[in-house]
Every structure is written in C-alpha cells, then in structure tokens.
Amino acid sequence: MAEANIAIEQLVSKEPNSKTILFTVSGQLDESNIDDKAKEVYKVIDDNQGKLNFIFDFAGLDYMNSKSIGYLTDWYGKIKERNGQVVITRAKQNITDILQVVGLTQLIKIYESIDEAKQALAETQTAPVAPVAPAPAPAQTPASAPATPAPAPAVPATEQEPSKGEDTYKLNA
Amino acid sequence: MLSNIFFIIILSTTIAAIPAAIWAYLFLKETSISKFHLIMLFIIGILTAPTLLGIQYLWQIYPTFNLGMLIETKIEQINIMYATLFILFGAMEEIIKHLAVRIIDKRTLAITTINNALRLSILAALGFSFAENIYYLYQLWGSLSVGEMTGVFIFRSGFTTCAHMIFSGIFGYYFGISKFAIDITKQQRVSGKTDLSTRIIAKLFATPIPHAHREKTILKGLLIAVLMHATYNFLLQFNVMIPVMLFVVLGYLFLRYLLNKKTGHLVLLTDVSVKKKSMLAKKDEDIIIELIGTWFEDKKYADVAYVCGRLLERDPDNNVVKLFKEKALDKIQDRNMYKKISNKISPEDKSIITKYL
C-alpha cells in the first residue's frame, strides 16, 4: 500500500464569508489510498458553507493515478459552483505534464510557491472581473525528458483568454 | 455469324467489360494501392465465378457431396428450401469473393486501412460480376430479342453488379474493422465494456480476446453479406423489378450508414501499419487513458473528447484514444434524429472541464 498524506490548514482570508484552505499533499495517490484521502477533502467542502478557495501544495506528491485526477476535477467543479478558486503549487514535472494533457491546467493554475498562489488568489478576489487564465499549451516534450521544476505561469491569472480550439466541446451549443 | 462461339464470347466479354470499367473507374480512381495488385485482384475475382461453376460441376459428378441436392431433397417446405438454397449459394459466392481479397492481402499486406479493405472487396466483386455477366450474356444470346437483351444487360450492369459490390463492400468493411481488433478490444477493456460474445468465443476456442473479436467481426460481416445476398436472390425469383431495385438502394444506404458510423468510430484513413512514437511517457499516458475510460463510463463525453484531442497532439497514432474520441463525439453529436429534435443530449453529459473552459 502506497503512502500518502494530506495535511489540511485554513489560511487567513481577507475576504469576508470566504475561506482559503491549504492542502499539503505528499506521497503517492493511488488506488489503495485515494478514496480515503478524497473523503477528507469532500468533508472540508461539506463542512464549510460559502465561498471556498483551495490551494493544493503538491511539493511532496510523487504520483497521481487517474482516479485522483478525476477527484481533483470534481473538487474544482464543486468549488467553482461556489465562485471559489482552486490552484496548485510546486507540482513536479510528471504531475504537471499529466495535468496539462488532461487540460486541467487551463482551469487550475500552477504556481511555483504557496505565497505566489496566495497572492494570485487575493488578486482574483479583489479584481472586479477575473477571467480564468490558461496555463501554457502542453509542451511537446519527448517521453524521456528529464524532470524539471514546473514553469511559473508567465502572467497573473487575469490577462489571457483561454484558447477554445476545435477540441473544446461546449454543451448546449 | 452469331453461331460462332468465339465471336459470341468476345462480344459478351466486350459488353460486360463496359460496366466493369465504369464501376472500377468510379471506385478506384483515387486509391493508393498499386495498379499491379488491383489488376491481380480483378483477375482472381474473375476466376472465382468459374471456380463456383467448377464446384457445381463436381457436385454432378459426385452427388454425395452435392449440398444443393441435399437441401432440395431434405427440405420439403418449398419456401424454406429455396431460402436455404439461396443462403447456400450466397454464402459460397461471398466466401469465394472474400478469399480473393484474402489472397491479395496475404501476399501484399495491401489492407492497412478500412478504405483499402472496402475498395479491394468491391474490386473482387466486380471481377466476379464481370465473369458472371459474360456467362449470362453468352447463355442468353440468340434466345432473346435485341430489346430484351438490352434490358438484361442494363439490369445486370447496373443493379446486379451494384448488388455484388454492396454485399462484398459490407463484408470488406467488417474485414477492415477486424484489423483494428487489438485497439478496439483495448478501448473496450479500458472503458470496462468487453463484449460478452467476444469473451465467450475467446473462452470456447481458448484464444486471446483480440483474436476472438477479430474472428467475430469477420463472421458478422460474412453473415450480413450472405443474408443480404440470399434476400436479393430470393427477390429476383419473382421477376418483379421494383422490390429488387429498392433492395439494392437499401443495401447502398446500409453501406453508407456503415461508412458514416465508421468515420464516427474509426477514422476512415487510419492506417493500422503506421505508428508515430508517443511524445508522452508510457506511464503518464496510461494514467490519462485510464481517466478517459472512467470519464467515458461517467458520461463525461465532452471532457473525453477534449482530453483525447489533447492527448492525440502528443500521441497522434494512438488508435485507442482515437476510438474514445470518436465514440464520445458520437455521443455528443448524436445522429439520432429524435434525440436531436427533442434536445435530449446535453443534460446527460456530466463534463466538468469543458463546462468551465
């Protein structure tokens, strides 16, 4: 059974009726532990009413299985329904790579540090209209590319319009 | 002059060559298959008709093996007897035409796409039909008026030749699909939907799932082609042309439906022999494909199509991903007219990523 840990910490939020939760995830999220760990996150969502912002610190996360990506997507959906934000910090290259291909980095921004993520969230909260900024397009790296730290987003989370190419399938179109 | 056998054969051949040339031009003008292989297949296709005649001749010499006679003597109910006979002859014709395609495919590996499988099958049918037309024209020469002969020629050139091409085309389509058995069964496995009949065949014959799926697909193609062929022959016996013509048109529409379905489920020009290397680590790719499978099960079709599109940028020749994408698109852009009109597609879709993009 793979080891995985999620430490949950509530951060100080400047915005009233809003909470920012930091999830420090470490180890390997796989079939043996993901369902249990996911329950902890769902509990936070259920226990806290009102607007929620999530910061996932993936510095210690070595592996995510498909189910954990599915959960992450689901959490994003739930947080967005409450007008909150989800961001990721310090993800390793292999994790970033998968999230980029899945397209999650177009919704969930990845930052190099927790402070940067906090600041981005604060800016988003104070900005009157804040469109979601896309992550850079997935790089065409070979399968054997060495692991390098995830690149910081080039611009703050407000300036770029997400690209909606032909592969974007909007419902009710 | 008309009593000269050679002259009649040459004349029949020349007349029968006209529709064959026109149909061949229409179907093969854009193919990438070498002309040599096409000519070889056409010749083998021609030879399949006399081979069948040879088998029937052998039945007369060795009546013990005469399947036709067996059916005639054993089945008393006249309609069932005729239906069984038509199925027998339909099966013989379809199998022998398909064998011609198999011979060329085995020697040249020409069939790497469904498109090629279709075209080669149609060409084999054209060869068979060409030989059959020569035989009929030769047989009827002198016994019918010029007007009647013209009618027979037009009907056989148009409808009978077309019917042969449609039946073989359908069989060819399934033969082409069977080439993708590995990808199709992998896609089914990832989405947790392995076919029950495939599993039974695999178990019965102690064969791997992809092989069982391949054989099942070929058998399905043969069955459809044979049943259509038998129905066509059955309708012909009444000498009423409208139902026959309608049946050919319906057969054509069915083939068109299969082609449309194919472009939906598998890209028409996908070449099973060409594979570019993935730009993504296998372990990472497996995680994403697993996720796609789960989301497909969860009816997140828009997300599946979206993720597949992104993954195909990294691994453009991954047929499993292509299958998932096309199937998801089929679900989104549902071709079911009722669903389209009643707008019952979107609420079923539970996608998240595409909802917030």
* Cα–Cα distance for residue pair A42/A22, rounded to 1 Å: 14
| ipTM value greater than 0.90 | no
* Cα–Cα distance for residue pair B136/B129, rounded to 1 Å: 10
Q: How confident is the model at residue B120 (pLDDT cuts 50, 70, 90)?
A: confident
Residues A80, B356: contact at Cβ < 8 Å?
Answer: yes
Identify the sign of the CA torsion A85, A91, A93, A99.
Answer: negative
State what percent of residues in chain A have pLDDT above 90. 56
Q: Beta strand pairing status for A109-111 and A86-89?
A: parallel
Inter-chain CB proximity B310 and A101 less than 8 Å = yes
* Cα–Cα distance for residue pair B126/B120, rounded to 1 Å: 10
Provide φ and ψ at A29, rounded to 5°: -90, 110
- Listed in sequence order, the residues at least 6 apart from B342 whose beta carbon sits closer than 8 Å to its beta carbon are none
> Residue B82 pLDDT > 80, yes or no?
yes
Predicted confidence at residue A134, as pLDDT, reads: 44
B142: left (phi over 0), alpha (psi -120 to 50) or beta: left
- Residues linked to residue A23 through DSSP beta bridges, in sequence order: A8, A56
**Distance between B150 CA and the closest CA of chain A, angstroms:** 53
**Distance between A90 CA and the closest CA of chain B, angstroms:** 18
Determine which helix (DSSP H) or strand (DSSP E) holds A64, and give its type and residue range. Answer: strand A51-64
State what percent of residues in chain B have pLDDT above 70. 90
Predicted confidence at residue A150, as pLDDT, reads: 37
Inter-chain CB proximity A138 and B313 less than 8 Å = yes
Inter-chain CB proximity A169 and B306 less than 8 Å = yes
3-state secondary structure of A158: coil
Picking from B287, B301, B307, the nearest residue to A103 by CB comes out as B307
Predicted confidence at residue B20, as pLDDT, reads: 87
Q: How confident is the model at residue B333 (pLDDT cuts 50, 70, 90)?
A: low
> Residue A103 pLDDT > 70, yes or no?
yes
- Size of the A and B interface in Cβ pairs below 8 Å: 102
Predicted confidence at residue A145, as pLDDT, reads: 36
> Residue B93 pLDDT > 50, yes or no?
yes
Picking from B314, B353, B355, the nearest residue to A104 by CB comes out as B353
pLDDT tens track for B94-106: 999 999 988 888 8
Report, as an integer, the average pLDDT of B150-171: 88
Q: How confident is the model at residue B131 (pLDDT cuts 50, 70, 90)?
A: very high
Report, as an integer, the average pLDDT of B144-153: 83
Chain A residues lying within 8 Å of B357, measured CB to CB: 103, 106-107, 162, 164, 168, 170
- Listed in sequence order, the residues at least 6 apart from A85 whose beta carbon sits closer than 8 Å to its beta carbon are A53, A54, A79, A121, A124
Q: How confident is the model at residue B84 (pLDDT cuts 50, 70, 90)?
A: very high
Distance of CA B336 to the CA centre of its chain: 23
Query: Most distant CA pair in chain B: distance in Å?
Result: 82
- Is residue A136 less than 8 Å (CB to CB) from chain B? no
pLDDT tens track for A115-172: 999 988 888 766 544 444 444 444 444 433 333 333 333 333 333 333 333 333 333 3
Q: How confident is the model at residue B340 (pLDDT cuts 50, 70, 90)?
A: very low
CB atoms < 10 A from the CB of A10, how many? 11
Inter-chain CB proximity B306 and A143 less than 8 Å = no
pLDDT tens track for B258-312: 876 654 455 445 565 666 788 888 889 999 999 999 998 888 888 998 999 899 9
The residue that leads in pLDDT, B128 or B183, is B128
Q: Beta strand pairing status for A86-89 and A51-64?
A: parallel
- Residues linked to residue A29 through DSSP beta bridges, in sequence order: A64
Chain B residues lying within 8 Å of A165, measured CB to CB: 309
**Distance between A116 CA and the closest CA of chain B, angstroms:** 23
- Residue A63, token pair as written in the block: 């592996």
pLDDT tens track for A41-73: 999 999 988 889 999 999 999 999 999 999 999
Chain B residues lying within 8 Å of A144, measured CB to CB: 281
- Is residue A65 less than 8 Å (CB to CB) from chain B? yes
* Preferred mutation among A163, A167, A172 to probe B, highest tally of B CBs within 10 A: A167
